[in-house]
């Protein structure tokens, strides 16, 4: 029901919500893929544009869900007092927060599907198709669960946020670094070995990039001498465990904030 509320708002504001998310991947693809990519011979034997296309899908998952459950959730909770109004009905605090998280995951799925459509269409202009594995069909599913993870992490920040400016910290110190350092616009192997290990071991976007790249091009960038199977298995397990952990944590922290 909380999900439904947010969905209704999304439909009402389709124009401002849909078109920007359509335009952004086109710009990235044009600027980095076709513009900058023209100066880069190839990465791991594939054209640069093919390297970044799956990463754009992963980034759209992160941005869609993270910003939905930080700024947007905070506005609903703090300024609009929407949560206060809902918890006066039979809906519980836990359900309100769970609804927000599922909605964040849905936004991620919508965004990722749009970007997937954009890169599929862009394949018309590339030497090698940007989407080359039949597993691409799994992208919406991956997007939903990865979106749930970023939503849940975001919700933990929202539970701690004293005001809306607070989100500058996670946005610039957490999201922006991941945007560049998780095997998105250049391979992880370009980083010093310890940084490679760190990005691979702990940063959520690295795992999402790995899994999405695996689904879209059927291969991942080799790192630290590990096999493709080992990398993918690690990323999938990491994502599942982290999603469960942060989902529970996000709900509990929000409950603590809203009921005291």
By the rule CB under 8 A, 168 interacts with another protein:
no
Minimum distance from CB of 98 to another protein (Å)? 14
Among the listed ranges 2-10, 19-27, 194-202, 217-225, the one in contact with another protein (CB under 8 A) is 2-10
The answer to whether the beta carbons of residues 103 and 6 sit under 8 Å apart is yes
Residue of 7, 8, 137, 237 that binds another protein (CB under 8 A): 8
Q: In angstroms, rounded to a whole number, what is the distance separating the alpha carbons of residues 19 and 21?
A: 5
Residue of 82, 106, 207, 243 that binds another protein (CB under 8 A): 82
Minimum distance from CB of 82 to another protein (Å)? 6
Alpha helices in 79-182 (DSSP H): 82-86, 93-122, 139-160, 168-170, 176-181
Closest to another protein by CB, 39 vs 79, is 79
By the rule CB under 8 A, 14 interacts with another protein:
no
225: left (phi over 0), alpha (psi -120 to 50) or beta: left
Q: In angstroms, rounded to a whole number, what is the distance separating the alpha carbons of residues 133 and 122?
A: 16
Minimum distance from CB of 4 to another protein (Å)? 7
Give CA separation, 246 vs 58, 120, 145, 150, 197, in Å.
19, 32, 12, 9, 22
By the rule CB under 8 A, 85 interacts with another protein:
yes
Q: How many residues bind another protein (CB under 8 A)?
A: 21
243: which 2 tokens? 């999603």
Minimum distance from CB of 258 to another protein (Å)? 9
Minimum distance from CB of 102 to another protein (Å)? 16
Number of H helices, E strands in the chain: 12, 0
* Residues listed for the chain: 260
Residue of 26, 30, 87, 249 that binds another protein (CB under 8 A): 87
Residue of 7, 14, 81, 160 that binds another protein (CB under 8 A): 81
The burial of 249, by beta-carbon neighbours within 10 Å (0-12 exposed, 13-18 middle, 19 or more buried), is given as: middle
By the rule CB under 8 A, 92 interacts with another protein:
yes
Neighbouring-strand partners of residue 176: none
Residue of 88, 124, 127, 173 that binds another protein (CB under 8 A): 88
Q: Using CB under 8 A as the criterion, which residues of the chain lie in contact with another protein when the complex forms?
A: 1, 4-5, 8-9, 12-13, 80-82, 84-92, 259-260
């Amino acid at each position: 029901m909380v999900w439904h509320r947010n969905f209704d708002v999304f439909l009402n504001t389709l124009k401002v919500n849909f078109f920007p998310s359509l335009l952004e991947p086109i710009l990235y693809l044009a600027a980095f893929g076709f513009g900058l990519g023209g100066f880069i011979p190839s990465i791991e034997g594939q054209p640069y544009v093919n390297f970044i296309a799956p990463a754009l899908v992963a980034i759209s998952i992160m941005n869609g869900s993270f910003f939905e459950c930080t700024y947007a959730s905070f506005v609903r909770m703090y300024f609009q007092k929407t949560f206060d109004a809902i918890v006066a009905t039979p809906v519980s605090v836990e359900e309100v927060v769970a609804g927000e998280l599922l909605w964040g995951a849905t936004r991620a799925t919508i965004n990722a599907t749009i970007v997937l459509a954009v890169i599929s269409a862009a394949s018309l202009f590339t030497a090698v198709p940007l989407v080359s594995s039949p597993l691409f069909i799994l992208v919406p599913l991956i997007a939903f669960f990865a979106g749930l993870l970023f939503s849940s992490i975001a919700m933990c920040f929202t539970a701690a946020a004293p005001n809306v400016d607070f989100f500058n910290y996670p946005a610039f110190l957490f999201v922006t670094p991941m945007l560049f350092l998780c095997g998105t616009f250049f391979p992880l192997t370009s980083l010093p070995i310890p940084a490679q290990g760190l990005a691979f071991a702990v940063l959520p976007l690295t795992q999402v990039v790995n899994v999405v790249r695996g689904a879209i091009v059927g291969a991942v960038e080799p790192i630290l001498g590990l096999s493709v199977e080992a990398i993918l298995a690690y990323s999938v397990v990491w994502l599942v465990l982290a999603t469960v952990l942060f989902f529970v944590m996000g709900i509990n922290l929000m409950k603590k904030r809203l009921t005291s």
